[in-house]
Amino acid sequence: MGKDKYDEHLEEQERLQQEQRGWKAMFKHNVVGPLVIGAIIGGVGYIFEYEPLIWIGVGINAFGWFVAMRDG
């Protein structure tokens, strides 16, 4: 049984929606991306008690908040 063009079109739409809502899409967002990346880096720095890594995370997180306030 072959797939017709309608089924292929639906699969392509589902794939595009999944890319827009997926894990990678979060990092492309101007506000959420820096907040999540900063939280991850700061969390790793806090766990391993590595001071520069904590400050890098805080800086990236601050940039995310700055973009949120500017766009909001």
CB burial readout 12-29, b (16+ within 10 A) else e: eeeeeeeeeeeeeeeeee
What's the longest Cα–Cα distance across the chain? 60
| Cβ-contact 37, 29 below 8 angstroms | no
How many structural domains are present in the chain? 1
The reported pTM is: 0.60
- What's the domain range around 22? 5-71
> For residue range 4-63, what is the model confidence (pLDDT) as tens digits?
666 677 777 787 777 777 766 666 667 788 888 899 999 999 999 989 999 999 999 998
